[in-house]
Structure 1
């Protein structure tokens, strides 16, 4: 069975908030759910066009920029709202994450602990940066959207991101210790081999 294109549900959810152009949708996705969901322009625009053909979204208006470009702003239709609600009620389809860091670590013995340690350190630095940014987003949303009926739902997704990043940082620390021990052990073995020659 082919995987369902979940891009359309991200689009429908965003358009339930307000009418948006493709560019606005991309920005809204990045600024709200971007820590756990991303869409490329290459996927977003064709999906938006298909959804218009299927009657899930409709052209709300066209805005003309001074440079002559036409900006199409879409709104969700009643049918689009029904499709989104139906999808929201269905069980979540499990998926296997593709994690390049873990794949490289799994085969890391081929290049030694130093290369793996560098990957872990890089991942840790990225996670620290993302965690700081997500904490700021969380504080800002709580302050600026206090009392908003969707705030508890938004906060659940932000909390998952915060806790996931905190767990990743703890794992990075454990991985660092293990790889540093391996580097010391391998360094000692190489020294012994040189001394024997």
Structure 2
């Protein structure tokens, strides 16, 4: 399924929670599913307009303003809820992850182990920050006493994010060791050739 099509279902899911403007949708996506799904404003607004034309969403008839500006607030329609439910029941399509770090490492021999190691270290530092933030979210959700039935489902995605980041950190440690060994080997080989 094309990315735009999947975008529409992320929007429908968010609007099932509450009516929102495009800006609010983007913020809600960043705060809730941002560790595994992101949408740009450039994709979000045109998709919302197409969805309104298809009657999956509609503008909330009440006027909403923030700071003196009238905002377009969208809400999901019955047709939109049906479309989301149908999509949720379909099997997940296989996909190939686009991972720039792995692509750079694959071609790392062109620059050497030190540059590749720097890439791994940056990725590790970023993952540590994300993991700390996600652990706080996990803690809040686990200690939430609300009777919101969505919490159990949301917690599953949070746990997947935690496990994925923990696995990435273990891989970074493994990659660091391998690149450091490679660097030592490269240096000793270079010294032998110089003799």
TM-score with structure 2 setting the length: 0.95
* In structure 1, distance between residues paired with 2:67 and 2:146: 37
For the Cα contact (< 8 Å) 1:145–1:151, is it kept in 2?
no
Match in the other structure for 1:190:
190
Structure 1 CA distance for aligned equivalents of residues 45 and 119 of structure 2:
34
Q: 1:21 to 1:164 in 2, by over 3 A?
A: same
Distance 2:3 2:163 in 1: 28
For 1:164-179, what aligned pairs fall within 5 Å after superposition? 164-179=164-179
1:71, CA displacement in angstroms?
0.5
4+ runs of 1 displaced by more than 4 Å?
1-4
Q: Report which stretch shifted further, 170-179 or 57-66.
A: 57-66
How far the C-alpha of 1:190 sits from its partner, in A, is 1.2
Deviation at 1:48, TM superposition (A): 0.5
Question: Equivalent residue for 1:64?
Answer: 65
Total equivalences in the alignment: 194
Cα distance between partner residues in 2 of 1:18 and 1:64: 16
1:148 has 2:151 as partner: no
**Secondary structure in 2 aligned to 1:9?**
helix
- Structure 1 residues 65 and 165 mapped into 2: Cα distance closer, same or farther (>3 Å)? closer
5 Å-filtered alignment, 1:1-197, equals 5-60=5-60, 61-67=62-68, 69-144=69-144, 146-194=146-194, 196=195
TM-score, reference length from structure 1: 0.94
In structure 1, stretches of 5+ residues that fail to align are none
Give the unaligned 5+ runs of structure 2: none
Q: Deviations over 1:64-99 (max 9, x none)?
A: 3444x3201111000000000000000101110010
- The 1-side partners of 2:54 and 2:186 are apart by 61
- What is the alpha-carbon root mean square deviation over aligned residues? 1.4
Contact residue 19 and residue 74 of structure 1 kept, 8 A: yes
Query: C-alpha distance in 1, partners of 2:67/2:101?
Result: 46
